[in-house]
Amino acid sequence: MPSVVSVRAFRHAARETVSGLPREFWWLWISTLVNRLGAFVATFMALYLTLDRGYSASYAGLVAALHGLGGVVSSLGGGVMADRLGRRPTMLVAQTATALSVAALGFVHHPLAIAGVAFLVGMASNASRPAVQAMMADIVRPEDRVRAFSLNYWAINLGFAISSMGAGFIAEFSYLAGFLIEAGMTLACAIVVFLKLPESRPEQPGAGGKGNKGGKGSKGSKGDEGGKGAPEEAVGLGTVLRDRRFMGVVGLSFLVAFIFQQGAIGLPVAMGAAGFTPADYGMAIAVNGVLIVVLQIPVTRFIQHRDPGRLLVVSSVLAGYGFGLTAFAGSVGVFALTVCVWTLAEIVNAPTQTGLVVRLSPVHGRGRYQGMYTLSWAVASLVAPLMSGVVIDRYGAEWLWGLCAVVGTAAGAGYAVLMRRLPAEEPATGPAAARTGEPATERATDLAGEGPAAAPADVATA
C-alpha cells in the first residue's frame, strides 16, 4: 500500500508540474532537448585538438577562449535580432548557422581555420538563447514562468548528460562523426522551430503611427521605481544600459556565473594539483548532472510561488559557500558533497534568475534584456578561466574557494538590496496566451500584489 500511495503521489506531482503550459512551450522544450542531445563538440573538443590533431594544450585553450568570445559578441546581437526580426527568424538563422559551422569545424585542419570557425560556432550557437528565453516569456503565463524555465533547464541538463556519455563512444569511432551528428541534431532543432513554432513577438502598436503614447495605465521602463507612472519609451540597447536596477542584476548575475564556472574550471585543476585523477573528478562532477535531473522538478514545485529576491539571496550565498567548503575537501566523497551544496544553489538560481529578467523587461524589449543577461554568463566564461588560473598559481586553490565564498556573500547582499519593490509581471503575449484569456493577467496581478495590472504600453523598437 505505501508503494501504491507513493506512485500515485508521484503521478499527481508530475501532472501538476507539466499541466497548464501551452503547446508551443512543449515544442520549444523538445527543440531544446534535441539540441542538447547532440551537444558532442563541447565535450570532446579539447581531446580532439590535443589527441587527434596533435595541437598543444595552450592552443586548445585559445580555441575555447575564441569560442567563448564568439558567444560574447552574439549575446547582444541575438537579443536585438529577437526584438527586431522576431524570435522565430532569429532561432532559425542561428540554428542553421550553428549546424553549418559545426559541420565545417570537422573538416578544417589548419590552426587558423580551426580557430576562426570555432569563433563562428560560438557566435551562432549563443545567438539563439535570447530568442528562446524571450519566446518562452511571450507564450507562458507569469505564474507559470519559473516552472517553464525550470523544465527548460532540466531539458538542457538531461540532454547534455546523455550526450556527454555518448560523446566518448562516438569519439572512439570518429571525431568527424561527432561533428556531423551535432550539425544534424541542430538542423533538426531548426526544423522543429520552422514547422511547429509560430512567431510570438508582441505586436507593436506604435508601428502604425499611433505609438509611443504611454497613456493611462501604461508601464514605463522597469528601472529604479518599478516602472510605474511613466510612459514606456522606445526600447534600444541604450534603454537597457540606462536601466540601473536591471544592470545591477546583470552585474550580480556575472558574479554568480563566475562562481558556477569553477565547477568546470577551478575544481578539476585543484583536484589534479591535489593528486586526484581525471576519473576522480568525473565521479565528483557527475553528481551535478544527476542531482539536476532528479531534483530540478520537485525543487521547482517548492520555489515557484516564493519570493524571487529571497531565493536569489539564498542561492547566491549557498553557491559561494558550497565552493568555499571545497577548501576542506580531502577525498572524492567530500568533493562530491560540496558539489551537492552548490548544485542545489544552481537548481534554485537558474530558473529564478531567468524569470526575474523577464519581470524587469519591457514587453517589446525582452530580446535585448535577455541578450544582456546572456552576456553576463558569456563574459564570466571568459574571465573565470583567466582569473582562476592566476589565483591558483599565485596563492593556491584555498584562496580561490575563499574568494568564491566572498563573491557569493557579496552577490547575496546585492540581491537583497535590488529586489525591493519588484514590479508586477507582464502577462503573456504570444498566440498561446490569447487562447487562455483574461484570467492569466488577473492571476499575475494577484501574485504580484501590486493592484490592477496595467496594459502594455505602445513601444517602437529602436
> DSSP secondary-structure letter at 325?
G
pTM of structure: 0.71
Residue 334 pLDDT = 93
Residue 75, all three cell numbers: 549575446
Residue 77 pLDDT = 87
Quote the CA–CA distance of 440 and 443 in Å, as a whole number: 5
* b/e burial code for range 291-313 (CB count within 10 A of at least 16 → b): bbbebbbebbeebbeeebbebbb
Interval 82-101: pLDDT, tens: 888 899 999 999 999 999 99
**273 pLDDT higher than 90:** no
**434 pLDDT higher than 80:** no
Q: Measuring CA to CA, which residue among 79, 159, 68 is closest to residue 115?
A: 68
Interval 219-258: pLDDT, tens: 444 444 343 333 445 677 788 888 889 999 999 999 999 9
**294 pLDDT higher than 70:** yes
Check for a shared fold between 22-203 and 218-423. Answer: yes
Domain spans, the chain: 22-203, 218-423
Q: Measuring CA to CA, which residue among 52, 291, 64, 264 is closest to residue 170?
A: 52
Interval 325-376: pLDDT, tens: 999 988 989 999 999 999 999 999 988 998 888 888 888 888 888 889 988 9
Interval 140-190: pLDDT, tens: 888 888 888 888 888 888 887 787 777 767 777 888 888 999 999 999 999
Quote the CA–CA distance of 446 and 438 in Å, as a whole number: 13
Q: Which fold has domain 22-203?
A: Growth Hormone; Chain: A; (1.20.1250)
Domain 218-423 has CATH 1.20.1250.20: yes
DSSP string of 20-54?
Answer: T--HHHHHHHHHHHHHHHT--HHHHHHHIIIIIS-
Interval 398-426: pLDDT, tens: 999 999 999 999 999 999 998 877 665 56
**73 pLDDT higher than 90:** no
Q: Measuring CA to CA, which residue among 378, 429, 356, 352 is closest to residue 83?
A: 429
- By the 8 A CB rule, do 140 and 148 touch? yes
Helix (H, G, I), strand (E, B) or coil at 68: helix
DSSP string of 146-160?
Answer: HHHHHHHHHHHHHHH
Residue 324, all three cell numbers: 568555499
Quote the CA–CA distance of 286 and 383 in Å, as a whole number: 24
Q: Measuring CA to CA, which residue among 84, 97, 94 is closest to residue 129?
A: 94
Quote the CA–CA distance of 376 and 378 in Å, as a whole number: 6
> Looking only at Cα atoms, what is the longest distance across the chain?
68
- For residue 337, with 0-12 CB atoms within 10 Å meaning exposed, 13-18 middle and 19 or more buried, which class applies? middle
Count of Cβ atoms closer than 10 Å to residue 406 Cβ: 12
